[in-house]
Amino acid sequence: MKISETLNIPTLSTGDMLRAAIAAGSGIGKQAKVAVDSGALVPDDVVVAIIRERIHENDCDDGFILDGFPRTIQQSRKLDEMLKGSDDAVDLILSLEVPDALLEKRICGRWVHKASGRSYHVDFNPPLSLQKAKGKAAKAKRMFDDITGEPLEQRSDDTKEALTARLNAYHKQTVPVLDHYMQQGIKVVAIDAARDVDDVWKSIDAVLPRK
């Protein structure tokens, strides 16, 4: 969100788009649901088709940020082809790196306010409603957004089991994508995202391309 605001270009998150398709019960959503819930990757053709369509919308004319895509070498090749068609290329890759053990803590305690994207954590950033319940367990009946008072939700794949599958897919299929771009001479910056949000932001802000 902050990167989008700073560069004034949209963020396209394939994960968000797939969750929206699942919630809407569309054909793509039905195809994707089992994979998303279990933490497996959705077939390349499905996500490539979603991105292909989205990047042709007007708000992408000055560029866009891809969040969670490409996640396989095949997706990277397809993306490179798509961009070549309009004489474009990937400018910068930010690899936000967090050790698996910390990721498990962050993800399994995460609750989100769907409408705004605000994210909370049972221990690291509890909503006021949980703080007031002093020491009680994080259950849906005491998890509400600080600003709107609306209910918070947990993602269906923010479980230990699904996370194991997501991390496997990341290490086996997504890490090679970084090499794919390094070999093309594209700038790949590793960001230590195990730190505070403000520190992580400073590192990101320092490498963003400015016009």
Which residues contact ligand AMP (rule: CB under 6 A)?
A: 14-15, 18, 35-36, 39-42, 47, 68-69, 71, 75, 157, 166
What radius of gyration, in Å, describes the C-alpha atoms of the chain? 18
Please report how close the Cβ of residue 43 comes to ligand AMP at its closest, in angstroms.
7
Pick the closer one to ligand AMP by CB: 21 or 130: 21
Please report how close the Cβ of residue 67 comes to ligand AMP at its closest, in angstroms.
7
Please report how close the Cβ of residue 128 comes to ligand AMP at its closest, in angstroms.
26
Please report how close the Cβ of residue 189 comes to ligand AMP at its closest, in angstroms.
19
Please report how close the Cβ of residue 30 comes to ligand AMP at its closest, in angstroms.
14
Pick the closer one to ligand AMP by CB: 39 or 126: 39
Pick the closer one to ligand AMP by CB: 93 or 130: 93
How far apart, in Å, are the Cα atoms of 186 and each of 72, 89, 208? 17, 9, 14
Amino acid letter, residue 121: H
Label the pairing between strands 110-112 and 119-121: antiparallel
Pick the closer one to ligand AMP by CB: 133 or 200: 200
Pick the closer one to ligand AMP by CB: 133 or 159: 159
The rounded distance, in Å, linking the Cα atoms of 153 and 23 is: 13
Give the residue nearest to ligand AMP (CB): 15
